[in-house]
């Protein structure tokens, strides 16, 4: 990343720091967003709050507001403060799937400890078969991906025979993710129409992102959804968007700064995210 050094009025600088404190967004991200909007330049493609490794260690303190997340993307996923449910960002709206299975749209002042979003364009759809389960869907998307080293936003639309999802329960800070998800609520949905929202991340990103596929689901009627564990469907429309520009916003929180993030979280992430 290039660096910019500039002289600014003290009142402007004070307002900038006030906004950073209020929103939780780093100062450099606020400056970059303001300049990009003024100059008519697209914002960086992939925006992520915190790291998957921090989530594994139980860093569930809200880092930024949902409003900040929406400023950076209209498509993505994450969770909420205290691990209170699954986040689905679809068509610019942010939804929370609670541990009771209920779905509601979230206000901008809600906070998140972890989220990944992008601005999803209109890539062409490819029809794939996932009658054998999630492994079939993953294999079909693998054949469509052009690189093993580039992040990919994944959107899957269609009518599903079945979708197996989970929703995390509110958890006390510091409880490891693998332990917290042992108490997760799981639901069998279907037949149902809906959309899977998420990302494929390269193996080298493990610890920062969830390596491999990380998908959340939302029904077309916005009444059910969650973190995808499995699915079955005959015909699904898959759209992929490569994400070669990644911005990571590290939390300005005591919990994150004091967390021990030195160990490899891969096994714990696999256990928590994929039910392994």
Q: What are the pLDDT digits (tens) for 70-125?
A: 999 999 999 999 999 999 999 999 999 999 999 999 999 999 999 999 999 999 99
Burial level of 75, CB count in 10 A (0-12/13-18/19+)? Answer: buried
Of residues 20 and 78, which shows the higher confidence score?
Answer: 78
CA angle 94, 99, 104 (to 5 degrees): 30
Q: Is 80 exceeded by the pLDDT of residue 241?
A: yes
Question: Residue 255 half-sphere exposure, CB side, CA atoms within 13 Å?
Answer: 21
Residue 256 has pLDDT above 70, yes or no: yes
Helix, strand, coil % in the chain, rounded to nearest 5: 30, 35, 35
Question: Is this model's pTM higher than 0.95 or not?
Answer: no
Do the beta carbons of residue 152 and residue 242 sit within 8 Å? Answer: yes
- pLDDT band with cut points at 50, 70 and 90 for residue 24: low
Provide the CB-side half-sphere exposure for 100 (13 A, CA). 3
Read off the pLDDT band of 43 (50, 70, 90). Answer: low
Fold entry, domain 42-276: 60s Ribosomal Protein L30; Chain: A; (3.30.1330)
- Residue ranges per structural domain of the chain: 42-276
């Amino acid at each position: 990343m290039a660096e910019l050094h500039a002289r600014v009025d003290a009142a402007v600088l004070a307002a900038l720091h006030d906004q950073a404190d209020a929103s939780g967004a780093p100062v450099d991200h606020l400056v970059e967003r303001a300049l990009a909007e003024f100059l008519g330049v697209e914002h960086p493609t992939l925006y992520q709050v915190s790291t998957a490794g921090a989530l594994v260690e139980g860093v569930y303190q809200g880092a930024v507001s949902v409003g900040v997340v929406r400023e950076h993307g209209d498509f993505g996923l994450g969770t909420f403060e205290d691990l209170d449910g699954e986040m689905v960002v679809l068509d610019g709206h942010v939804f929370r799937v609670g541990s009771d299975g209920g779905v509601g749209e979230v206000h901008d002042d809600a906070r998140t400890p972890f989220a990944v979003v992008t601005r999803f364009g209109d890539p062409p759809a490819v029809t794939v078969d996932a009658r054998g389960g999630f492994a079939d869907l993953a294999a079909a998307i693998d054949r469509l991906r052009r690189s093993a080293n580039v992040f990919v936003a994944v959107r899957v639309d269609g009518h599903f025979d079945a979708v197996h999802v989970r929703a995390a329960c509110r958890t006390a800070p510091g409880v490891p993710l693998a332990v917290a998800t042992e108490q997760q609520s799981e639901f069998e949905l279907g037949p149902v129409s809906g959309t899977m929202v998420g990302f494929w991340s390269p193996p080298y990103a493990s610890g920062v992102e969830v390596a491999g596929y990380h998908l959340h689901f939302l029904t077309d009627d916005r009444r059910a959804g969650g973190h995808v564990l499995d699915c079955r469907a005959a015909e699904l429309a898959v759209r992929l968007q490569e994400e070669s520009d990644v911005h990571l916003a590290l939390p300005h929180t005591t919990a994150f700064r004091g967390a021990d993030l030195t160990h490899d979280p891969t096994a714990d992430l696999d256990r928590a995210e994929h039910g392994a």
